[in-house]
Amino acid sequence: MSQNTINYLIHDRNNRGRSQIGWLDSFHTFSFSHFYDPNRMGFRSLRVINDDRIAPGAGFPTHGHRDMEILTYVLSGAVEHKDSLGTGSVIRPGDAQIMSAGTGIMHSEFNPSPTEPLHLLQIWILPDEQGLAPRYEQKAFPVEEKRGQLRLIAAKDGRDGAVTIHQDVDLYTSVLESGDVVNYHLKRDRYAWLQIAQGIATLNGEELRAGDGVQISGEEKLEISTNLSAEILLFDLG
Nearest to 165 by CA among 80, 88, 101: 101
User: How many whole angstroms separate alpha carbon 147 and alpha carbon 168?
Assistant: 25
d(CA 90, CA 223): 34
The 3-state DSSP class for residue 144 equals: helix
CATH number of 2-237: 2.60.120.10
Q: What is the pLDDT of residues 19-73, one digit of tens each?
A: 999 999 999 999 999 999 998 999 999 999 999 999 999 888 888 889 999 999 9
Please state whether beta strands 59-65 and 220-225 pair in parallel, antiparallel, or not at all (unpaired): unpaired
User: Which among 112, 108, 107, 77 has a CA at the least distance from the CA of 92?
Assistant: 77
Percent of the chain past pLDDT 70, that is, above it, reads 97
Mean pLDDT of the chain: 94
> What are 110-139's pLDDT values in tens digits?
999 999 999 999 999 999 999 999 999 999
Instruction: Check if the beta carbon of residue 23 is closer than 8 Å to that of residue 55.
Output: yes
* Mean pLDDT, residues 72-82: 95
Each domain of the chain, given as residue ranges in start order, spans 2-237
Q: Where are the beta strands (DSSP E) in 67-210?
A: 69-76, 79-83, 88-91, 95-100, 105-110, 118-125, 135-140, 151-155, 163-164, 169-177, 181-186, 191-203, 206-209
| pLDDT value of residue 1 | 42
* Three-class DSSP category at 14: helix
Per residue in 85-103, pLDDT tens? Answer: 888 899 999 999 999 999 9
For the segment 141-163, the average pLDDT, to the nearest whole number, is: 97
- Partners of 120 in beta bridges: 52, 74
According to DSSP, the β-strands at 151-155 and 163-164 are parallel
188: left (phi over 0), alpha (psi -120 to 50) or beta: alpha
Specify the pTM: 0.94
